[in-house]
Structures are given as structure tokens and as C-alpha cells.
Amino acid sequence: MSLAPFHDPSWEIWAHNSAAPACPRVDRFFDLHAKQVWKADKSWHKDYQTWLSQLPVPIYMQHHYAEVPQSIRYPKERILSEFRRYFTSQAAWMMALALTEGVTHLGFFGIHYGAACERDWQRPGCEYWMGMAEGRGVQLVIPDGCPLLRKPALLYGYESHDAKGKNIIAPGKPNQYGFDASKLTVIDMNSSAPRPKLAELPGEMEPNWAHSGHRFRF
């Protein structure tokens, strides 16, 4: 976080709740949790509610709250009408809003999602939105030490296996997830025999692969 361009006024500094008290400058603040969450006691701030109510900058929240005069209702409906419904962190909501405003550069300072409780579900979502931004021509600024879009560092196929062919990125037994090939349903695509029913779909709906153009219908 110390590498962020707090001194450079050409950068807008956006921060969310637990990080903002450590920032010397914040231009927009985000706390998108429900009211019962942001009103609860915080281990990282002795009087978060009072501090929140006194912030002199816009604060994006689920609603405008009288207790937080600078609070602004986050435009959730507009964001969801434009983007995929995949938001696993506040950073994701922040990036989506920035994209609607024509952002050209996004910096990721102090955003690591390195803890085990975050890696499984918050970090993939953050990296998805980074890809969305980069695909729209936004330049990503990722400082040294930040693991986003850098782990694993080895290129799959070219660097991921050792000289004996062992996977050195994700070592483990091939059957570590309980996969049992003997339980698979094998379908001969060139046979005209009736196919086993693989899934129950609502009403008379047909699965997409029923219209795939294959000479035998399922």
C-alpha cells in the first residue's frame, strides 16, 4: 500500500473499509456491506461508525444512510445490467464502477488476497475483473510484491513440469478429487442407438447439444 501514488493528484485513490484508515489520502470510499455489518464493532478500528460518519469524501454504500451524510447508493442495478453477475469482493464492484466511468489506468496497491480465506473465492473474482478491464484497453498497474496475475509464475506446459514430466505447479495424485472413470457414461457418437438421458431439463426444453448439427439426435 505504501507504493500507491498518494502524492500524485492525477490518480484518484479508491479504498474500501478496512484499508481506508491506513491511507493518507482517499478520494472515494467503499463499504458495500449490509447495515448490520458496518455498524458492528471492528477489530481494526475502535470507533468505525463515528469515523465513517465524519469522512469528507463520497462513500459508496448499499443505500444512503442518514447516519453517514456522505453516503451514496451504489448503482448496483446499472452495473448488473451491463456486466456478468460475478462479484466476490468489494474490489470487483469498484472495478466495475470504474469501467462505466471510462477509466484508463487501474492500480492495485495493497490488494493481495493472499490469505487462505480469500484465495479460494475473492482472488479469482478480482483477477476476472482485472482481465475484463485489460480486455477493454485499461492499463493495469501491479506493483512489486503483489501476487495478482502472477501466481503461479510458471508458464503452463513450458515450465510447469520437471525433466521427469512431474507437475511442479500443482503436485498431487491424479485421483485426488475422487474421480472414478469406471462410473462415466460412455456414448458412441457414431451409433444410432437410443441415447441415455443425461439430464432433466424444465418442460420440453432440449439441451443445446441437441442442436449441434450432429447427424444423430440425442
Q: What confidence tens digit (pLDDT) does each residue in 42-75 have?
A: 888 889 999 999 999 999 999 999 999 999 999 9
pLDDT-wise least confident of 4-13, 29-38, 105-114, 188-197: 188-197
Average pLDDT over residues 77-84: 95
Q: Provide the percentage of residues in the chain whose pLDDT is more than 70.
A: 81
pLDDT range class, residue 218, cuts 50, 70, 90: very low
Tell me what pLDDT residue 77 has: 96
Beta-carbon contacts of residue 176 (< 8 Å; ≥ 6 apart): none
Exposed e or buried b per residue across 112-124, where buried means at least 16 C-beta atoms within 10 angstroms of its C-beta? ebeeeeeeeebbe
Give residue 170's Cα distance to chain centre.
Answer: 22
pLDDT of 213 higher than 60: no
Tell me what pLDDT residue 199 has: 57
pLDDT range class, residue 111, cuts 50, 70, 90: confident
Planar angle of CA 17, 23, 29, nearest 5 degrees: 40
pTM for this predicted structure: 0.74
Planar angle of CA 98, 43, 47, nearest 5 degrees: 80
pLDDT of 35 higher than 50: yes
* Whole-number Cα distances in Å, 153 to 21, 142, 147, 158: 32, 14, 9, 12
pLDDT range class, residue 217, cuts 50, 70, 90: very low
pLDDT of 34 higher than 70: yes
Tell me what pLDDT residue 44 has: 81
pLDDT of 159 higher than 80: yes
Q: Which of the pair, 39 or 118, is modelled with greater confidence?
A: 39
